[in-house]
Structure 1
């Protein structure tokens, strides 16, 4: 049976670097599992792999759509499966790397995902009714959805109702699973909250110093509306408000840090749901060696010797 290695964890935990380091000695290729990195032209704010990292290991599912193109879990899943088949057909080892838990578990657990494209008309009608009414309808038509659709996330509630109205079946119906068809090793990067927040704050400072404001300004100048889902992501939303004169730069940076802290907590909750499937390792200097050890045992192939023959990529 084919095998897949996944590397998961919250923002700024070091997933990209670890993935590149692990891919190098095994001839691996990386499949991105990040819902924001699929958008072209949104490089700095989403912390996409650098050109150097992409030169070391080929990356898939990055720069897939323009910022104003609808993109769903179902489409990502189809593309991820295509990428897996392509990588395996060439005798390479795929690595799934990212922090979007919904993407990761959908692929690893064989979720049945409805192929219902976003419908602007239906969404506008639903959104016009207000969050409280939407949550009440979802509880009425799909009581089981409350276990995995956060009622505070209006976009997720709208999507659940959109699927229900399009298919006539509750959103929870589509949570059933099929055999994934491959074996998987899931490596999780873990670090304490204080250190995680320090890393996040450092990353946010870096993305602002390296041109996030110019990136967002360029997207707006190209005609991409700040109302687009892609432009409402952390960092982009705050910079739009800054460029509109609604925030000063210091507040913009601080709100981006706080929003990313909140995102990291949400990501961790997704991965905790994986229970014992995840082999947690400490993020830091020893992470690469520990991941190599786990990968060797999983692939039943010595790879650390191959690493010594290559020039290791480490950050």
Structure 2
């Protein structure tokens, strides 16, 4: 049977890793990471990265491929993920894409072109924002790309949208992906009742703290964590950097991490829920794996 690329997605804390390993064992597959923060070496506890001993002997790709000072690139990930898919298929196995970083999942699976980039233009726009305030840039974006402006982008994405318009003459919104697979794929989504998920996420953050999240952040701080635009802003890492700075207690950092994680999970549900190609399952169902396998085999 010629199985499609299998994508296991959904909000954080829903058991995507466990399901992906079970599917890989059943189907003869290898796992491709699509969690942008798990690209980073040393960001283990705070990203819930599975230790090697818990990966069921299944090869995992695109884990630990970047230094914390580097900035993740969706365009680069797209090329690398598709190359890995081809390599896995070349071994007669099934590629299983796993993660909750919505745009990275879409980049790997869908037809999507990425807007151009120019570091010099971005630096100039960042300097303008620092001098005149982000409000002036937001007003400019509202004129040249009202669709993107209406999405209430954070400062970094707002600057990116202006950078793209300046370079290409096209609105950033025109580069949004279309829901059209680059190659055959089946998307498996996991989600929980919101209250149950919130409880699970709070427990998960508490476990991360108990496992030594603060010490992980301290170690990565010594490796240049603050220099990385992506890594330094990661949930948990940003909060515990504040603990190292003495501006936040461990208790407050833990609470803020829980809140930020819940907010992130809500955004993930919104993102993935907008794609009607996703097949949703309850991860607490005892027949989850047989149900998912049956759905995949129907594809």
User: Same fold by TM-score, threshold 0.5 exceeded?
Assistant: yes
Q: Deviations over 1:248-270 (max 9, x none)?
A: 11111111111100000011110
SS state of the match for residue 238, structure 2?
A: helix
In structure 2, distance between residues paired with 1:143 and 1:110: 24
SS state of the match for residue 71, structure 1?
A: coil
Q: CA deviation at 1:116?
A: 2.4
In structure 1, distance between residues paired with 2:289 and 2:127: 49
Q: Deviations over 1:115-136 (max 9, x none)?
A: 5265562353253242322222
SS state of the match for residue 185, structure 1?
A: strand
Q: Residues 118, 73 of structure 1: CA spacing in aligned structure 2 closer, same or farther, 3 A cutoff?
A: farther
SS state of the match for residue 152, structure 2?
A: coil
Q: Deviations over 1:5-28 (max 9, x none)?
A: 111110101111111111112111
**Other-structure match for 2:224:** 223
In structure 2, distance between residues paired with 1:38 and 1:127: 29
Confirm or deny that 1:131 pairs with 2:123: no
Q: Residues 202, 226 of structure 1: CA spacing in aligned structure 2 closer, same or farther, 3 A cutoff?
A: farther
**Any unmatched runs of 5+ in structure 2?**
none
Q: CA deviation at 1:152?
A: 4.3
**Other-structure match for 1:186:** 187
**Other-structure match for 1:31:** 32
SS state of the match for residue 288, structure 1?
A: helix
Q: CA deviation at 1:2?
A: 6.5
Confirm or deny that 1:281 pairs with 2:284: no
Q: CA deviation at 1:226?
A: 6.3
**Other-structure match for 2:246:** 245
The question of whether the paired residues in 2 share the 8 Å contact of 1:226 and 1:240 is answered with: no
The question of whether the paired residues in 1 share the 8 Å contact of 2:110 and 2:182 is answered with: no
RMSD: 2.1
Q: Which runs of 4+ in 1 moved over 3 A?
A: 117-120, 176-181
**Any unmatched runs of 5+ in structure 1?**
299-315
**Other-structure match for 2:293:** 292
**Other-structure match for 1:122:** 124
In structure 1, distance between residues paired with 2:87 and 2:116: 22
Q: What number of residue pairs does the alignment pair up?
A: 295
**Other-structure match for 1:156:** 157
Q: CA deviation at 1:286?
A: 3.0
In structure 2, distance between residues paired with 1:213 and 1:107: 33
Q: CA deviation at 1:39?
A: 1.2
TM-score, scaled to structure 2:
0.91
Q: CA deviation at 1:104?
A: 1.5
